[in-house]
Every structure is written in C-alpha cells, then in structure tokens.
C-alpha cells in the first residue's frame, strides 16, 4: 500500500476558514486515489513554528508521508529562506512538494526546476529590496536626515527624569509618570550618571 500524502492548509486568523483550500486538496487526493492526512494551521505564515506544520514535518521525518500538497507555496512558507529550508528538508527525506496553483510538483524534473526558479526569483527580489533600502538610507544620511525612531523623551522629558529621580522616585514610577517604558528611563539615568 502506498504511503499517504499530507494535505496542508493554513489561514492567518481564526475568523478565516480553510475549507476552500481543503476542498481543492481533497479533490487532488481523490483524483489520485491516495490516502490523505490533513494538517490545518490558523497562524501567520511568517511564523516558522506552527502546530500542524510541525506535526506534518514530524510525520515526514518518520517517513509516514510520500508528499506534501498545498494550494499555494505561501500557505506553507512566507519567506524564501523558510521555503528553501522546507524544500531542502523534504527533498532529503524523499518527500515530494506539490503546489497546485503554481503547478509545482517536485517529483518531476520540471517541477523541481520551477521550484528552484521561483526560489531564485524571490531571493533576487529580496536582494534588490535590500540594496534599494541600503541606497535610500545612505542618500538620507547624505542629506543630513536623522535615521531611526524618534526619541521617546524630548529635552524637557530627559531633564524631568533627573529631577524625579532626585526626589527618590523609582524607575518604574518615573516611567509611569512620563508614559514611557522602563528601559527608556533606565537608559536616560545611565546617560545622566555618565
């Protein structure tokens, strides 16, 4: 008897319904007349740790599934690095990856090529974004722009930290009074002591 396949569906929030994905995945399994195990997560795709994805990978590591089937690659991974890691691990385990909407099936040479091409394009795009961001920051620096988050305390707020501390107020009390974080007050006190 052939190994079952793993059907993986993911929605981002509890209000969303994975049923549309599951119907397509079940139809795929039914057309191939294979047993399917279903794994469903209600979690952000940015999170690498998801209960059902972890269970699916554990089943793959135990050699209990022949393939992982998703509607789209972004259901299983949002980042190129995560997708590449998953793809590499599944390949090493001899578990195929099938993405219905992208016509990717890593059990075929064309599917492996398509998977690698999409991964390369996504990596290229990530590198372009990184380069544009770096160039934009450098141009802003040359124009004299202040980069980063604005200070939580202005000049008067920083002076108040010192005055409040001199009256014996705790760091937590000062933070509460000035409506800033405890770490902000602690940093300002360190700066004042230096």
pLDDT higher than 90, residue 37: yes
pLDDT higher than 90, residue 59: yes
- Spacing of C-alpha 157 from chain mean position: 37
Confidence class of residue 67 from pLDDT cuts 50, 70 and 90? very high
57-68 mean pLDDT: 95
The 10s digit of each residue's pLDDT in 145-174 is 888 888 888 889 888 998 998 999 999 999
Question: Where do the domains of the chain lie?
Answer: 5-121, 155-193
Alpha carbon distance 157, 153 (integer Å): 5
The confidence score (pLDDT) of residue 113 equals: 87
Active site residue 12: yes
Fold observed for domain 5-121: Rossmann fold (3.40.50)
Q: Print burial letters for 22-50: b (CB count within 10 Å at least 16), e (below 16).
A: bebbeebbeeeebebbebbbbbebeeeeb
The 10s digit of each residue's pLDDT in 102-115 is 888 888 888 888 88
The confidence score (pLDDT) of residue 97 equals: 93
The confidence score (pLDDT) of residue 1 equals: 66
7-28 mean pLDDT: 91
Alpha carbon distance 118, 123 (integer Å): 9
- Give me the catalytic one of 12, 47, 52, 81: 12
- Asked whether 77 and 47 are in contact (CB, 8 A), the reply is no
**Global pTM exceeds 0.75:** no
Confidence class of residue 36 from pLDDT cuts 50, 70 and 90? very high
What is the maximum span of the chain, computed from C-alpha positions, in angstroms?
Answer: 78
Confidence class of residue 130 from pLDDT cuts 50, 70 and 90? confident
The confidence score (pLDDT) of residue 120 equals: 77
């Amino acid at each position: 008897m052939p190994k079952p396949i793993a059907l993986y569906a993911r929605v981002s929030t509890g209000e969303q319904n994975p049923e549309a994905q599951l119907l397509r995945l079940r139809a795929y399994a039914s057309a191939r007349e294979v047993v399917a195990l279903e794994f469903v997560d209600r979690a952000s795709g940015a999170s690498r740790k998801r209960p059902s994805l972890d269970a699916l990978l554990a089943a793959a590591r135990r050699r209990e599934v022949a393939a992982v089937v998703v509607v789209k690659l972004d259901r299983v991974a949002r980042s190129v690095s995560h997708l590449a890691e998953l793809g590499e691990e599944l390949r090493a385990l001899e578990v195929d990856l099938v993405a219905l909407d992208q016509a990717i099936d890593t059990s075929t040479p064309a599917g492996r090529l398509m998977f690698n091409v999409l991964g390369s394009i996504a990596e290229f795009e990530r590198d372009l974004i990184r380069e544009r961001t770096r160039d934009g920051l450098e141009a802003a620096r040359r124009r004299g722009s202040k980069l980063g988050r604005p200070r939580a305390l202005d000049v008067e707020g920083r002076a108040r930290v010192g005055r409040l501390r001199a009256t014996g107020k705790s760091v937590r009390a000062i933070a509460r009074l000035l409506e800033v974080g405890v770490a902000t007050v602690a940093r300002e006190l360190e700066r004042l002591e230096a």
